[in-house]
Amino acid sequence: GDSVTQMEGPVTLSEEAFLTINCTYTATGYPSLFWYVQYPGEGLQLLLKATKADDKGSNKGFEATYRKETTSFHLEKGSVQVSDSAVYFCALANYGGSQGNLIFGKGTKLSVKP
Amino acid sequence: NAGVTQTPKFRILKIGQSMTLQCAQDMNHNYMYWYRQDPGMGLKLIYYSVGAGITDKGEVPNGYNVSRSTTEDFPLRLELAAPSQTSVYFCASSRTANTGELFFGEGSRLTVL
């Protein structure tokens, strides 16, 4: 079945460092890909998405490019801030076989130190 | 904007007790979902609904029941609570099935002792 694999955390960075969180997927057909973020004590919220190959999603300085040839959707940010400390979830939706249900990775916890 | 509201935020149950987690959304979304989040395991879908009166099982439905009598409300019922149901539960909603944009509540932390 469809699945998402994320790099293991936690990830600890200093403020202004470059961030990469790796995400790869397995799916039939042409899924849509998402990054969700969960700040401490809150529910998840959509950070960015891409719906077809070579699309780049971006929001709040974060970017991710849908790479079909490598089945990847890595999250990047050029300069992280303390306020970016959160858990980041990669997810996919394969609308051909589901009611829009998302399949989530296990999450990667990011801690940014001042 | 209230969005998705879950109650209670915290609850401790004894083994064998029952309870209902409440979820309400004010965005007139047709689609609603219940997920559980276990440490280091991501989110697993328990049940979902595509509209009032229509529900279906997700990946991990055993030990749970749902109902959807109105568009706004999607309660999750736990019968005969077990320690394996200790988790954080998230309710979510979406306008359609094809955007992948889910709106989540703040979660309900349940401990079964």
Q: How far away is chain B from the Cα of A48, in angstroms, using its nearest Cα?
A: 9
- Mean pLDDT of all residues in A33-48: 92
Q: Which residues of B touch A99 (CB under 8 A)?
A: 31, 48, 50, 56, 97
Nearest-angstrom CA–CA distance, B44 and A23: 18
Give the pLDDT band of residue A99 (cuts 50, 70, 90): low
Q: How far away is chain A from the Cα of B97, in angstroms, using its nearest Cα?
A: 4
Give the pLDDT band of residue A114 (cuts 50, 70, 90): very high
Nearest-angstrom CA–CA distance, B26 and B73: 9
Q: Which of A24-33, A52-61, A95-104 has the highest mean pLDDT?
A: A52-61
The β-bridge partners of A62 are: A59, A77
Chain A contact for B60 (CB, 8 A cutoff):
no
Which residues in A68-86 are b (16+ Cβ under 10 Å) and which e?
eeebbbbbebeebeeebbb
- Mean pLDDT of all residues in A16-42: 93
Q: Supply the DSSP symbol for B100.
A: -
Stretches in chain B below the pLDDT threshold 70: 1
Model pLDDT, residue B85: 96
- Phi then psi for residue B56, to 5 deg, are -155, 155
Where do we find the tokens 């960075």? A13
Specify burial of residue A52 (Cβ count, 10 A radius: 0-12, 13-18, 19+). Answer: exposed
Q: How far away is chain A from the Cα of B15, in angstroms, using its nearest Cα?
A: 26
Chain pair A-B, CB pairs under 8 angstroms: 59
Which pair of structure tokens corresponds to residue B8?
Answer: 């209670």
| Nearest chain B alpha carbon to A4 | B42
Chain B contact for A93 (CB, 8 A cutoff):
yes
Q: Which residues of B touch A45 (CB under 8 A)?
A: 103-104
Nearest-angstrom CA–CA distance, B27 and A89: 24
Model pLDDT, residue B60: 93
Q: Which residue among A49, A95, A100 sits closest to B31, beta carbon to beta carbon?
A: A100
Model pLDDT, residue B30: 92
Which of A60-69, A71-80, B32-41 is predicted least confidently?
B32-41
Chain A contact for B105 (CB, 8 A cutoff):
yes
Model pLDDT, residue A97: 47
Q: Which residues of A touch B40 (CB under 8 A)?
A: 106-107
Type of residue at A74: H
Model pLDDT, residue A108: 95
Nearest-angstrom CA–CA distance, A56 and A13: 24
Give the pLDDT band of residue A100 (cuts 50, 70, 90): low
Please state the three-class secondary structure of A37-83 as a single string: EECCCCCEEEEEEECCCCCEEEECCEEEECECCCCECCEEECCCCHH
